[in-house]
Structure 1
């Protein structure tokens, strides 16, 4: 798969679209960052799909429902967004998204500031999913892959499981020294 930057006003190429059969969602890259803009994604989540609680310390994520009912949890607050409604997970806020309805939900996601690591990490994660290398909960079966992805996407585990964050950071550093991150990025075209 070749990955190129997509400018929404361009008519020469289609935006990159990736699917994850485990978390039951599809991401369309509406705008990839070049370091000067936010990342924009369209996130389609099938009934029963979603992602577990996590946080980022480098960017915020804002979710605006486009269609269906899009579930978002930020901290202890759980909301079900209807078209036109938004919720934001600020930097450092534990959050998750989900669809517990009966129809596909679509949200526009704004990542601010834009994060190329998140973009590349999503491409790798969805490639691992297609290759059957994720557990049923959506995490990589390989601790090394999990560590590389948490580092790439700036994702952290909240709460009591947060004790794993320094371990994942150490494993990610070990993996980088051995080129595992470069191998995954090359394998999945990120």
Structure 2
């Protein structure tokens, strides 16, 4: 058998992380589905703190993100915002009570609105301690969304379809 022992598997939880796409209704029946973007599995220790989890998810996506999760018994129209350690503990408890078929926590990572300032994950922040007296030193505590190419991993830009060009119809004499 390949994989961790049962005790080690019980000590970890898995998040099915989706980012860069959209939640849209499916055409035949209108049921909500996640389309486009990326989906990756993130396995973490059950004792992880909210801030550590957000740091790992930010590294996964390449940007600071907000986290919303699907409860095991709910559809995509009822996502729960996870903003604290307490929210995270409650989410894990919900999955612990759910049937064994819900092995992974469905997580959706969203970028903050464009232009809004946000703190980057610790791994993406520059150190401000290196040369605080120098005006040319790189030190950043915030990142404006869209200001760095790393965000292209997380955001898919959809271009508007070109509008058709209309030409006037002229009835003329045909050579014949």
Tell me the TM-score normalized by structure 2.
0.29
Higher strand share: 1
TM-score normalized by structure 1? 0.27
More helix by share: 1
